[in-house]
């Protein structure tokens, strides 16, 4: 209001000063300190030679005030000279923040520059007021409602000012109570289970979940609405929400008033529209059935399944809408899915971008969607998953782009983000079974962008010393048959692994073929050779071991044939949450070598999501070996062992099964199994992808040759565990309680394994 009066008074003065018009002979500006006269001339609506009137004077004043450079403007005439008298606004010489612990000063300065308040710019009181309001809003979003913000503007020489903004942040206001009014069908604790806002937990100092936020409350109200709609309450509404704060700005109270309404059932499910797929097949995609409780979640799942089914037949832009017809008298809903498949489209071109190192052919051979074929959303997703499983790319994104000028063609754009596929690493680690471990590896998973694997390795621990070299071509043929070879030298001191007192020096190698037989199944065939030098303890050899050496000798040449099958449908190879991985292998030491024996092994792990955050897992392993031909039994250095963090937790590594005194002998029959419930870090609303916990139960044992399976000898344990993909390597820990242990069993409740590279 004061500014308006000031402008009006100046216009009145200008009108009085310009009582008569005149021709401008010259223009003079008075009162400038920092600005040049040329800057003022740029804003003037008149120039020398123009006829000046009272209307022009008003326009001059308006234009100069609009520039925001001046606090005061006057217009006069002296002998045909237009005199403009101005008072410049001060410039900002400095901006200082005091007391801001939550907000970074550098970030604040950047934000102020964006709104026009920065060093060197013209000072405007309105901008400073805007800054104070924004700072207050930011502190409110952090739960600090008692914040006090004061600004001080100090005049400086040469028409400048120093701005000082002082913030007394106060403490965070916490939520003392969340009260839901109107719920009769469900307990309040169940309704608040998925809320982001809480009244506090043991980790609230870290999660900040007890701090009020309008955005969090909006999300909580939507969670509450979804809770009821997924359980049949079609007419559920949130009638009002009250948020109050105590006078000292330290505690907040939230009250949510709801109306549950009645619970509805599905009377009938219908399909309508253009059903280009057989109706019965589409009905199989619908997960919500007649007489079921109404559920928005089930309706959404059904809609997605129907859309994906149409997409598999080339209808990439299909649209399925679920429309409920509500009968409020009988609390029933007739649900109709309206199907609009759109036009069928085929893929004109598949474009790949982002692969600066990897050759196009490496990605294209993983494609299950082909050019000039009808588009299939399932095949597109499958192609993306296969490319991501290569391990060469951090991320893989796919876009479906309609071709301009056509209605039945699309292009697929695959954009990949490459990761380094080669590594030169040295490492150190420690595990309770192997002790201190040193290793060095040179690995190139994508040699020269061809997708071929090469590696050289060295591993040294108290148990093993290993040197190895390997090569694999995963696409030796266009059909995806892989070829590879490995060569190695391995020294093993079994006594260091809590096994009987013997050592072996082994060198050898193998060549292998991998044959895909379906999308997730492969067969592996390998031929190998090993030379083994066996050394028994001079002081206290196990008698059965000595008998084997007396009978078979202590140096062996073994030729082996291995046939294996594997199946992998997991969603991730590192920390899976769904799918299954299993393998079956048969290794036979064939005639022509020093020994003849065979080993059979089956391993499986199955993962099933219970909820969005809980996963149920089952695992198991079976192994059996024996000699044949001239070899009477399975060589003892090929025995199976059980116990430890990767087997039956709670029992020391490799110590289960037959013993000779205190020495573990292992056995020719292995059986282990386990069940786990996997969950994220407790109390965190947003799960950490690199950390997860589990509650588990393990069972297993090994049996001596000829002993056979005996359920009474099985060992059991239960406990909790955690896995962390840390910067130092994978850390696995478990805390287990063994059950039914015997006097000669070696138990170990706490177990861990840690590795690191540098």
Asked if the model's pLDDT at residue 685 lies above 60, the reply is no
Q: Is 220 left (phi over 0), alpha (psi -120 to 50) or beta?
A: alpha
Asked if the model's pLDDT at residue 681 lies above 50, the reply is yes
Architecture per CATH, 265-340:
Roll (3.10)
Q: Environment class of residue 346 by beta-carbon count within 10 Å: exposed (0-12), middle (13-18) or buried (19+)? A: middle
User: Which position has the higher pLDDT, 173 or 419?
Assistant: 173
E strand map for 79-173: 81-88, 91-98, 148-156, 160-168
User: Which pLDDT score is estimated for 574?
Assistant: 64
**Strand 346-353 relative to strand 409-418, pairing:** parallel
User: Which position has the higher pLDDT, 240 or 664?
Assistant: 240
pLDDT band at 75 (very low <50, low <70, confident <90, very high): confident
Q: What is the dihedral of CA 384, 390, 393, 394, to 10 degrees?
A: 80
User: Which position has the higher pLDDT, 214 or 427?
Assistant: 214
Query: Hey, how many other C-beta atoms are within 10 angstroms of the C-beta on 757?
Result: 15
Under CATH, domain 2-88 is a member of which superfamily? membrane protein fhac (3.10.20.310)
**Cα–Cα distance for residue pair 224/482, rounded to 1 Å:** 53
pLDDT band at 12 (very low <50, low <70, confident <90, very high): very low
Q: What share of the chain is helix, strand, coil (3-state, %, to 5)?
A: 20, 45, 35
Pick the CATH number of 91-168 from 3.40.50.1860, 3.30.230.10, 3.10.20.310, 3.40.50.880: 3.10.20.310
Q: How far are the Cα atoms of 340, 428, 435, 463, 643 from residue 431, in angstroms, in the given order?
A: 59, 11, 5, 11, 14
Architecture per CATH, 422-757:
Beta Barrel (2.40)
User: Which pLDDT score is estimated for 755?
Assistant: 47
Q: In the chain, what are the domain boundaries?
A: 2-88, 91-168, 174-259, 265-340, 346-418, 422-757
User: Which pLDDT score is estimated for 684?
Assistant: 53
Cα 700 versus chain centre, distance: 34
Most confident by average pLDDT, 141-150, 288-297, 444-453, 533-542: 288-297
Asked if the model's pLDDT at residue 663 lies above 90, the reply is no
User: Reduced to 3 states, what is the DSSP secondary structure of residue 163?
Assistant: strand
- Same fold for the pair 2-88 and 422-757: no
- Contacts of 682 by beta carbon, 8 Å cutoff, 6+ apart: 203, 693
Rg, Å, the chain Cα set: 39
User: Which position has the higher pLDDT, 513 or 25?
Assistant: 513
- Contacts of 309 by beta carbon, 8 Å cutoff, 6+ apart: 277, 281, 282, 285
The DSSP letter of residue 685 is S
User: Which pLDDT score is estimated for 670?
Assistant: 95
- Region 299-308: mean pLDDT is 92
Asked if the model's pLDDT at residue 451 lies above 90, the reply is no
Asked if the model's pLDDT at residue 3 lies above 60, the reply is no
- Segment among 92-101, 371-380, 383-392, 731-740 with least mean pLDDT: 383-392
> SS3 string of 209-275?
CCECCHHHHHHHHHHHHHHHHCCCCCCCEEEEEEEEECCCCCEEEEEEEEECCCCCEEEEEEEEECC
From the list 421, 490, 479, the residue with the least C-alpha distance to 451 is: 421
Confirm if 383 and 369 have CB atoms less than 8 A apart: yes
- Region 551-563: mean pLDDT is 92
- Region 603-625: mean pLDDT is 92
- Segment among 521-525, 628-632, 680-684, 692-696 with least mean pLDDT: 680-684
Partners of 548 in the beta sheet? none
Most confident by average pLDDT, 202-216, 382-396, 645-659: 645-659
Taking only the tens place, the pLDDT of each residue in 187-237 is 988 998 888 888 877 766 666 778 887 888 888 999 999 999 999 999 999
Asked if the model's pLDDT at residue 129 lies above 70, the reply is yes
Q: Environment class of residue 702 by beta-carbon count within 10 Å: exposed (0-12), middle (13-18) or buried (19+)? A: buried
**Strand 81-88 relative to strand 26-30, pairing:** parallel
Pick the CATH number of 346-418 from 3.40.30.10, 3.90.550.10, 3.10.20.310, 3.30.1330.100: 3.10.20.310
pLDDT band at 514 (very low <50, low <70, confident <90, very high): very high
From the list 495, 603, 587, the residue with the least C-alpha distance to 541 is: 495
From the list 468, 472, 463, 471, the residue with the least C-alpha distance to 437 is: 463
Asked if the model's pLDDT at residue 612 lies above 80, the reply is no
**Cα–Cα distance for residue pair 266/99, rounded to 1 Å:** 60
- Region 354-373: mean pLDDT is 88
**Cα–Cα distance for residue pair 534/588, rounded to 1 Å:** 20
- Segment among 124-128, 301-305, 335-339, 583-587 with least mean pLDDT: 124-128
User: Which position has the higher pLDDT, 94 or 143?
Assistant: 94
Most confident by average pLDDT, 24-33, 67-76, 369-378, 532-541: 369-378
The DSSP letter of residue 637 is G
Confirm if 396 and 414 have CB atoms less than 8 A apart: yes
* Total residue count of the chain as it appears in this document: 758
Most confident by average pLDDT, 322-326, 441-445, 461-465, 611-615: 322-326
The DSSP letter of residue 747 is B
pLDDT band at 19 (very low <50, low <70, confident <90, very high): very low
**Strand 409-418 relative to strand 729-739, pairing:** unpaired
- Region 351-360: mean pLDDT is 87
Cα 580 versus chain centre, distance: 20
- Segment among 28-42, 406-420, 646-660 with least mean pLDDT: 28-42
- Region 323-351: mean pLDDT is 92
**Cα–Cα distance for residue pair 155/282, rounded to 1 Å:** 76
Q: How far are the Cα atoms of 112, 163, 538 from residue 491, in angstroms, in the given order?
A: 67, 73, 18
**Cα–Cα distance for residue pair 692/682, rounded to 1 Å:** 9
Q: Which is it for the CA torsion 170, 174, 176, 182, positive or negative? A: positive
Confirm if 688 and 703 have CB atoms less than 8 A apart: no
Taking only the tens place, the pLDDT of each residue in 251-286 is 889 999 999 999 999 999 999 998 888 888 888 889
User: Which pLDDT score is estimated for 161?
Assistant: 87
How many Å from the N-terminal Cα to the C-terminal Cα in the chain?
A: 68
Confirm if 679 and 614 have CB atoms less than 8 A apart: yes
Q: Is 637 left (phi over 0), alpha (psi -120 to 50) or beta?
A: alpha
Most confident by average pLDDT, 7-16, 59-68, 344-353: 344-353
User: Which pLDDT score is estimated for 132?
Assistant: 84
pLDDT band at 44 (very low <50, low <70, confident <90, very high): confident
User: Which pLDDT score is estimated for 434?
Assistant: 45
pLDDT band at 35 (very low <50, low <70, confident <90, very high): confident
Cα 32 versus chain centre, distance: 59
**Percent of the chain scoring above 70 in pLDDT:** 88
Asked if the model's pLDDT at residue 438 lies above 70, the reply is no
User: Which pLDDT score is estimated for 727?
Assistant: 57
pLDDT band at 716 (very low <50, low <70, confident <90, very high): very high
Asked if the model's pLDDT at residue 9 lies above 60, the reply is no
User: Which pLDDT score is estimated for 459?
Assistant: 62
Asked if the model's pLDDT at residue 436 lies above 50, the reply is no
Asked if the model's pLDDT at residue 13 lies above 60, the reply is no
Computed over every residue of the chain, the mean pLDDT equals 83
**Percent of the chain scoring above 90 in pLDDT:** 33
Taking only the tens place, the pLDDT of each residue in 146-193 is 888 888 989 888 788 898 989 888 888 888 889 999 999 999 889 988
- Region 59-73: mean pLDDT is 82
Under CATH, domain 174-259 is a member of which superfamily? membrane protein fhac (3.10.20.310)
**Cα–Cα distance for residue pair 162/160, rounded to 1 Å:** 7
């Amino acid at each position: 209001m004061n500014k308006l009066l000031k402008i009006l008074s100046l216009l009145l003065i200008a009108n009085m000063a310009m009582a008569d018009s005149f021709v401008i002979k010259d223009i003079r500006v008075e009162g400038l300190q920092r600005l040049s006269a040329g800057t003022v001339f740029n804003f003037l609506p008149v120039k020398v030679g123009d006829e000046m009137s009272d209307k022009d004077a008003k326009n001059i004043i308006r234009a100069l005030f609009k520039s925001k450079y001046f606090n005061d403007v006057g217009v006069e005439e002296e002998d045909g000279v237009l005199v403009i008298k101005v008072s410049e606004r001060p410039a900002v010489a400095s901006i200082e923040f005091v007391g801001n612990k939550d907000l970074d000063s550098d970030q604040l300065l950047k934000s102020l520059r964006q709104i026009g308040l920065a060093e060197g710019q013209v000072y405007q009181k309105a901008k400073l007021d805007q800054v104070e309001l924004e700072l207050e809003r930011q502190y409110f979003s952090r739960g600090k409602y008692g914040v006090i913000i004061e600004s001080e503007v100090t005049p400086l020489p040469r028409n400048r000012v120093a701005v000082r903004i002082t913030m007394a942040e106060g403490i965070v206001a916490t939520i003392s109570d969340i009260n839901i009014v109107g719920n009769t069908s469900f307990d309040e604790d169940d309704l608040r289970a998925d809320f982001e806002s809480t009244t506090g937990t043991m980790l609230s100092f870290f999660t900040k979940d007890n701090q009020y936020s309008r955005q969090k409350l909006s999300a909580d109200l939507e969670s509450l609405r979804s809770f009821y709609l997924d359980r049949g309450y079609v007419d559920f509404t949130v009638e009002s929400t009250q948020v109050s704060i105590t006078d000292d700005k330290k505690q907040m109270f939230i009250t949510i008033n709801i109306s549950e309404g009645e619970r509805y059932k599905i009377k009938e499910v219908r399909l309508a529209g253009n059903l280009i797929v057989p109706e019965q097949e589409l009905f199989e995609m619908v997960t919500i059935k007649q007489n079921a409780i109404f559920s928005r979640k089930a309706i959404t799942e059904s809609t997605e399944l129907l859309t994906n089914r149409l997409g598999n037949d080339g209808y990439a832009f299909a649209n399925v809408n679920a429309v409920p017809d509500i009968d409020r008298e009988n609390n029933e809903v007739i649900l109709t899915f309206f199907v609009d498949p759109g036009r069928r489209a085929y893929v004109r071109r598949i474009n790949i971008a982002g692969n600066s190192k990897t050759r196009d052919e490496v990605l294209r051979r993983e494609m299950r969607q082909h050019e000039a074929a009808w588009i299939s959303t399932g095949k597109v997703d499958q192609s993306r998953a296969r490319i991501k499983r290569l391990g060469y790319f951090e991320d893989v994104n796919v876009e479906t782009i309609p071709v301009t000028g056509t209605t039945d063609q699309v292009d697929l754009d695959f954009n990949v983000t490459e990761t380094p596929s080669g590594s030169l690493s040295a490492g150190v680690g420690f595990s309770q079974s192997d002790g201190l471990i040193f290793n060095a590896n040179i690995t190139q998973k994508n040699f020269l962008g061809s997708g071929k694997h090469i590696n050289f390795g060295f591993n040294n621990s108290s148990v093993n010393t290993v040197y190895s070299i390997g090569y694999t071509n995963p696409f030796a043929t266009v059909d995806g048959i892989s070829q590879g070879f490995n060569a190695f030298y391995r020294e093993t001191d079994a006594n260091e692994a809590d096994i009987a007192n013997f050592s072996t020096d082994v060198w050898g190698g193998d060549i292998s073929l991998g044959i895909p037989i379906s999308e997730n199944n492969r067969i592996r065939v390998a031929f190998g050779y090993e030379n083994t030098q066996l050394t028994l303890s001079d002081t206290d050899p196990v008698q059965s071991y000595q008998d084997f050496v007396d009978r078979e000798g202590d140096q062996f040449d073994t030729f082996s044939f291995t046939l294996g099958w594997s199946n992998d449908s997991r969603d991730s190879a590192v920390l899976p949450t769904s799918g299954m991985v299993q393998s079956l292998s048969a290794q036979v030491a064939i005639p022509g070598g020093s020994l003849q024996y065979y080993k059979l092994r089956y391993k499986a792990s199955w993962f099933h999501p219970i909820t969005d955050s809980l996963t149920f897992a089952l695992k198991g392993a079976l192994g059996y070996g024996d000699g044949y031909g001239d070899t009477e039994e399975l060589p003892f250095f090929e025995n199976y062992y059980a116990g430890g963090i990767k087997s039956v937790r709670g029992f020391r590594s490799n110590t289960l099964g037959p013993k000779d005194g205190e020495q573990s002998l292992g056995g020719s029959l292995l059986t282990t199994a386990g069940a786990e419930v996997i969950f994220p870090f407790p109390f965190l609303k947003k799960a950490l992808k690199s950390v997860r916990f589990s509650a588990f139960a393990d069972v297993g044992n090994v049996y001596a040759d000829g002993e056979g399976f005996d359920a009474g000898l099985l060992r059991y344990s239960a406990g909790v565990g955690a896995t962390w993909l840390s910067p130092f390597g994978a850390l696995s820990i478990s805390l287990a309680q063994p059950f039914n242990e015997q006097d000669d069993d070696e138990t170990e409740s706490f177990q861990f394994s840690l590795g690191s590279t540098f």
